[in-house]
A and B are shown apart, each in its own frame.
Chain A
């Protein structure tokens, strides 16, 4: 990939485009992974509101899971969930069951 020279960068390092983080995996250093128990979930969206990385996915008024491409495993969702429907599990163990790439694909 050809990299920009110093003359090509926008002045002041401004990125003249929104939501560019969407292009990158920022959840790669997660050590704990949130897992949803759909049976307990009441779709109150507390997790959605509290998630600092907008990694909680919602579709048609239903909490549908986590966007692991961006989730950093902070556990705030599990802490805030009034129904204890979210469990934080060890990422390494989770990776033994499925690959991260597959998660990212699901989450993208």
Chain B
């Protein structure tokens, strides 16, 4: 029987980790991720799990240790946030390049400057081309569910690519939320045993990892091979989602559609904002406006074909971004990807971008309402704006 609990989002990560019981957890604390590591360290100290916990001296070291342990054949998990993720930068590419199935929770927090500890997606968005799979969560339940599924996705032989599970800093990480835990034995059976394809510690079959590609050796071929993992990931993510539904009753896919069947106006959003937007959708539906929500779960790889199909009947689409690309009026990252996805499409809706919530700026219902009022007239003489900073003091 599933157990219903009331816990903060960081506990949702730690509880999933407890059930997974990874071999090695190297970590360095950073707000708002700290509570994940604290809770897990307590579990290690109490003997509830038998992970080797490595208190690294920085996130760069934490990810380095994760890579080393994973190359040694261990199942490895860690967690970070913001500047910590930024400090892992060069190691992120090494984990994905060496095809090591590390799973990491990233508690989304803004990047300096100025210093701000609250939620936006700029940290993980910066790592969007690092070769990691990225899955967004709306609440503690989705966070927990994503962490369990991430193990299966990362370790799948067709994928062998690290996975980043994203949860909004404070909004999810530090809010008490009601969610269901799967039974320990069911969760353990779902994640299964990890069998690495080869290991540095296998002395009988010595291997060399991370070798130097001299001059024009194999780097190019190897990067193309790496892209294959990402190309094969969607099918695996869908399959793992279906299997997870059988044990949890909760279905996961590339995105979740809400009142999309006949929607003329669709909001695309990722993370905790989806909850507020869903309520706004209901309110506008009552007023007779056909609004829908497409909640993006899988940002990397980006489900461009499926997204275009799902949005093709819409008159206008508002993409909500909790970060900016600073690319000169190009809009936020989800907007850029969505717009690009529509290039070959025969039917293209009007697209607007709402950049909101940077540095934890709240997204109250009034702002979502304001956005809907604006984008329902997108492309008209009255509404020529394409990119709007929502909730900005202007």
Q: Is A60 an interface residue (CB 8 A)?
A: no
Q: Contacts A9-B221, A9-B225 known; A20 to B100 CB distance under 8 Å?
A: no
| Interface residue SS majority, chain A | loop
Q: Are B221 and A15 in contact (CB under 8 A)?
A: no
Interface size class of B (residues with CB under 8 A): 20 to 34
Contact of A9 among B97, B207, B218 (CB under 8 A): B218
Q: Are A15 and B218 in contact (CB under 8 A)?
A: no
A-contacting residues, B184-211, CB 8 Å: 197-198, 205-211
B209's nearest neighbour on chain A, judged by CB, is: A14
Q: Contacts A12-B160, A13-B98 known; A6 to B207 CB distance under 8 Å?
A: no
B200's nearest neighbour on chain A, judged by CB, is: A14
Contacts of A5 in B (CB 8 A): 221
A-contacting residues, B82-97, CB 8 Å: 97
Contacts of A16 in B (CB 8 A): 198, 205, 207
A4 to B218, CA, bound (A): 8
Contacts of B99 in A (CB 8 A): 11-12
A6 to B221, CA, bound (A): 4
Contacts of B100 in A (CB 8 A): 12
Q: Are A18 and B208 in contact (CB under 8 A)?
A: yes
Contacts of B198 in A (CB 8 A): 14, 16
| Interface residue SS majority, chain B | loop
Q: Is A7 an interface residue (CB 8 A)?
A: yes
Q: Are B221 and A12 in contact (CB under 8 A)?
A: no
Q: Are A14 and B208 in contact (CB under 8 A)?
A: yes
A67 to B210, CA, bound (A): 25
| Among A5, A11, A13, A16, residue most surrounded by chain B Cβ atoms (within 10 Å) | A13
Q: Is A61 an interface residue (CB 8 A)?
A: no
Q: Contacts A11-B160, A12-B98 known; A6 to B208 CB distance under 8 Å?
A: no
**Nearest-Cβ distance from residue A38 to partner chain B, whole angstroms:** 35
Contacts of B160 in A (CB 8 A): 11-12
Q: Are B225 and A6 in contact (CB under 8 A)?
A: yes
Q: Is B287 an interface residue (CB 8 A)?
A: no
Q: Are A15 and B222 in contact (CB under 8 A)?
A: no
Contacts of A18 in B (CB 8 A): 206-208
Q: Is B3 an interface residue (CB 8 A)?
A: no
**Nearest-Cβ distance from residue A64 to partner chain B, whole angstroms:** 26
Contacts of B211 in A (CB 8 A): 13, 15
Map CB proximity to A onto B98-118 as digits: 1 under 8 Å, 0 otherwise.
Answer: 111000000000000000000
**Nearest-Cβ distance from residue A89 to partner chain B, whole angstroms:** 28
A-contacting residues, B244-298, CB 8 Å: none
| Among B99, B206, B224, B225, residue most surrounded by chain A Cβ atoms (within 10 Å) | B225
A-contacting residues, B338-359, CB 8 Å: none
Contacts of A7 in B (CB 8 A): 225
**Nearest-Cβ distance from residue A70 to partner chain B, whole angstroms:** 14
Q: Is A39 an interface residue (CB 8 A)?
A: no
B225's nearest neighbour on chain A, judged by CB, is: A6
A12 to B210, CA, bound (A): 8
Q: Is A17 an interface residue (CB 8 A)?
A: yes
Contacts of B213 in A (CB 8 A): 13
Q: Contacts A4-B218, A9-B218 known; A15 to B225 CB distance under 8 Å?
A: no
B222's nearest neighbour on chain A, judged by CB, is: A13
Contacts of B98 in A (CB 8 A): 12-14
B206's nearest neighbour on chain A, judged by CB, is: A18
Contacts of A20 in B (CB 8 A): 208
A18 to B208, CA, bound (A): 6
Q: Are B206 and A6 in contact (CB under 8 A)?
A: no
Sort A-B residue pairs by CB-CB distance and give the 9 closest, nearest first.
Answer: A18-B206, A12-B99, A6-B221, A15-B208, A6-B224, A12-B98, A6-B225, A13-B222, A16-B207
Task: Tell me the B residues contacting A by CB distance below 8 Å.
Answer: 97-100, 160, 197-198, 205-211, 213, 218, 220-222, 224-225
| Chain A to chain B contacts (Cβ below 8 Å), 26 pairs | A4-B221, A5-B221, A7-B225, A9-B218, A9-B221, A9-B222, A11-B99, A11-B197, A11-B225, A12-B98, A12-B99, A12-B100, A12-B160, A13-B209, A13-B210, A13-B213, A14-B98, A14-B198, A14-B209, A16-B198, A16-B205, A16-B207, A17-B208, A18-B206, A18-B208, A19-B206
Task: Tell me the A residues contacting B by CB distance below 8 Å.
Answer: 4-7, 9, 11-20
A13-B218, A16-B198 known; 19 other A-B pairs, CB under 8 Å? A4-B218, A5-B221, A6-B220, A6-B221, A9-B218, A9-B222, A9-B225, A11-B225, A12-B209, A13-B97, A13-B98, A13-B209, A13-B210, A13-B213, A13-B222, A14-B98, A15-B211, A17-B207, A18-B206
